[in-house]
Amino acid sequence: MRDSQPRQEIKASRLGSGGFFVLVVSGQGCPRHENGFEQAEEFEMEKKKKVTILEIGAMKQAGEKITMITAYDYPFAKVVDDAGIDIILVGDSVGTVIQGVPNTLPVTMDEMIYHTRMVARARERALVVFDLPFMSYQASLEQAKQNAGRALKEANAEAVKLEGGANMAETISAIVNIDIPVMGHIGLTPQSVHRLGGFKVQGKDEGTRKKLLEDARAVEEAGAFAVVLELVPAEVAKEITEMLSIPTIGIGAGIHCDGQVLVLHDLLGLYPARKLKMVKQYANLYEESRKAVEQFCKEVKEKKFPGPEHSF
């Protein structure tokens, strides 16, 4: 028996390159829109445009701020990627943040690969950058190339970061020359904590300011696609940002950098005793987590959990 309902035709077409589609439903009984379509509904595809080093460079040219944050595992990487972060840095800060050691020096390549693999599985949009740990690139150019290659081949990272300025220019160049993107890192370089005498602001006097400018030029000339400026006076960071054609990403380096980075666990307030001037705490997950666990303990002790709704 033939269907007595009016026949309708459904078509879908892409509008531009932004992932948008128009769903057109036409036929008898379909109201017409002013633009001539019988019925149209626009929706955004869930798939997000992937961030690459080319987009990061273009953002500086367009004056669009770049966002970067650390992540060390699948769940948090999923959160920050879904939130729209541009770059996920799997930092060697995993040592102080996750492992509970006092600095980044004990972190190994194998540990970094382990954590980066988890992050890369969650990544859909963000650029994933692998932080080369202490003594994974300083011994020789061959060592640096081998470990940078492992970061991409074994951990599914898309770029590596290493610390140092003019002293590491040859290393940056060697890695870039085998087609592995490199992010530089100058100012306070945590792997040099003992030489620097602690975690201190760099570039406060004229001599260290000039050294920072030299380091920034060297990193760019070596082929880095971006550079982190850590604990640098705001005006010095502004001077460097205006001088370079590659993006600067600041942490404790003022508002003038092309982008900003924070350690995720600091941003979320997971370490209430860790008070850092350059950090803005956007949540207090330590307190919320503690309360949730306390409530669980209370309900178990009082025989309130599990209830009938949690049982089979």
Return the structure tokens found at 227.
Answer: 């550079």
Question: 209 and 188 in contact (C-beta within 8 Å)?
Answer: no
Would you give the DSSP letter of residue 15? Answer: E
Question: 118 and 145 in contact (C-beta within 8 Å)?
Answer: no
Question: 141 and 122 in contact (C-beta within 8 Å)?
Answer: no
Q: Is 287 a catalytic residue?
A: no
Cβ contacts of 87 within 8 Å, gap of 6 or more: 51, 56, 66, 67, 68, 69, 126, 127, 128, 129, 249, 259, 261
Angle, helices 206-222/169-176, rounded to nearest 10 degrees: 20
Return the structure tokens found at 197.
Answer: 């005498």
Q: Which of 158, 163, 220, 230 is catalytic?
A: 230
Would you give the DSSP letter of residue 38? Answer: S
Using alpha carbons, list the distances in angstroms from residue 82 to 76, 85, 87, 161: 10, 8, 12, 23
Question: 159 and 180 in contact (C-beta within 8 Å)?
Answer: yes
Catalytic residue list: 230
